[in-house]
Amino acid sequence: MARGINTKCLHLEEEEGCCNNYGSISFPIYQTATYEHPAVGQSTGFDYSRLQNPTREHLEKIVATLENGIDALAFSTGMAAITLVMELFKPGDHLIIDADLYGGSIRLFDNVSSKNGIHFSRIDCWKENVESYVNENTKAIYIETPTNPMMNVTDIAALAEIAKRHNLLLIVDNTFLSPYFQNPLELGADIVVHSGTKFLGGHNDTLAGFLVTNREDISEKLRFLIKTTGSGLAPFDSWLILRGIKTLGIRMEQAQKNAFKIAEWLKTKSAVTRVIYPGLPEHPGYEIMKKQARGFGSMLTFQLESREFALSVLEKVRMIKFAESLGGVETLITYPTTQTHADVPKKIRERNGITEATLRLSVGIEDVQDLLDEFEKVFAETEEELYGGKKS
């Protein structure tokens, strides 16, 4: 019988009952660069930590189990993982990518991948006819769902059918929902991307990235590339991510509960012109989310009525931190225009709906009333400052 995901976060079934590592419950940090060999042609299974390290290997097995893949590779950052997956392609290849992506991905594709001869069609995969963009050089489709930061939702299974018809790779960045809420490989994706810095780590204390696949041929190519490029995750950081994953489920559940309440509160404010959260029934991707995911996550985006209101909120928050990143236990508020999407051309930002009044919220696990109290105070102070009295 398949184990539940919370159990998978804690236990690697293949290692149970062995009493390895002197019985240590916490998997050890193998802080070593190289390994002794008993004799020529003999090995302990590890040669050099650029190739593999026991702590990283244990982490990779856990993540592969969570995503129901056959292999997972751990990288120094999420961007290192995405950079390596792009090495699967060659000059002249064409990729269909979602228009609304994390700014770092857009920066990579526009400034590095394009320089290397890879061509892109940037479209709204959640609503456009993706198949019409496929040509003889197309090799892959790359999406986030929900997207960062506009929370667009794409039907993974439907996109997988198109990819299979044309022998394309389907690559899905699953960072916003984590394996706890969504498993793209089960829906037909070939490669899943994670910024492990975010929900998997969960504590804003280290960086990491992951690629997960359920195909042997892709695993073999990625393993060759990671040992060649040297972008694997270090032992101590692997241990920190392992520790974070142990509480993934309870963190995701609590943060999601908070996100629902904050989204509903924001809807009551006249200064908020739009609340974008896929857990709201009015969200266009709500039904798809119910079909392909086990939850809606804790990321939401909202539009304020003016740039001045947005900047005032960012200046006044205290317990809620004005910071880049997401997925930690602390609630973070981000200004995409100058942070996550600062390097994205203004024309593209505006096309995607990102304005100077757009804020992105990564909801944490604090007592939700404390978060609401701070928002109430910040909104009231801003209204007094801008309008001379209460507006919302």
Catalytic center residues: 50, 102, 173, 198
In eight-state DSSP terms, residue 277 is -
State the Cα–Cα distance between residues 115 and 94, nearest whole angstrom. Answer: 13
Quote the tokens at residue 35.
């390994």
Quote the tokens at residue 352.
């995607």
State the Cα–Cα distance between residues 26 and 81, nearest whole angstrom. Answer: 26
Backbone φ/ψ region at 383: left (φ over 0), alpha (ψ -120 to 50), beta: alpha
State the Cα–Cα distance between residues 298 and 4, nearest whole angstrom. Answer: 21
Amino acid at 273: T
In this structure, the chain runs to a length of: 392
State the Cα–Cα distance between residues 283 and 289, nearest whole angstrom. Answer: 10
Give the residue among 291, 34, 29 at the shortest CA–CA distance from 155: 291
Quote the tokens at residue 321.
């931190």
Helical H segments across the chain, by residue range:
5-10, 54-66, 78-85, 103-108, 156-165, 178-181, 216-229, 235-245, 248-267, 286-292, 307-316, 346-352, 368-387
Backbone φ/ψ region at 235: left (φ over 0), alpha (ψ -120 to 50), beta: alpha
Pairing label, strands 321-322, 332-334: parallel
State the Cα–Cα distance between residues 27 and 40, nearest whole angstrom. Answer: 29
**For residues 261 and 368, is the Cβ–Cβ distance under 8 A?**
yes
